[in-house]
């Protein structure tokens, strides 16, 4: 099994190549389904952990509207690139 960092790196490359940022703001469910499809991970807790780490690294912008929370993928995250180098 790959490490979480390797999975995140693979997911970001996939998201960039498929231009996921053009989806605009979407709910967690959409991103969760993409992670299940791309990485083949079925464990809900693992998916949530990966997603929260991606948000923490700055790959997603969080927007809250009333009781709904949406996320936007950031195509070129300069903050994460400086952390990984």
pLDDT in tens, 44-83: 999 999 999 999 999 999 999 889 999 999 988 765 544 5
- CA dist 83 to 25, 29, 56, 78, Å? 25, 28, 12, 9
Question: Within a 10 A sphere around the Cβ of 80, how many other Cβ atoms?
Answer: 18
* pLDDT tens-digit map of 10-45: 999 999 999 998 999 999 999 999 999 999 999 999
For the chain, the structural domain boundaries read: 4-84
**SS3 category, 64:** strand
What's domain 4-84's architecture? Orthogonal Bundle (1.10)
What is the total residue count of the chain? 85
Distance CA 66, CA 55 (A): 20
């Amino acid at each position: 099994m790959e490490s979480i960092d390797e999975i995140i790196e693979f997911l970001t490359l996939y998201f960039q190549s498929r231009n996921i940022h053009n989806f605009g703001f979407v709910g967690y469910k959409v991103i969760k389904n993409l992670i299940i499809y791309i990485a083949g991970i079925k464990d809900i807790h693992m998916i949530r952990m990966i997603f929260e780490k991606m948000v923490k690294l700055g790959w997603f912008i969080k927007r809250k509207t009333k009781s709904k929370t949406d996320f936007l993928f950031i195509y070129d995250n300069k903050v994460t690139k400086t952390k990984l180098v």
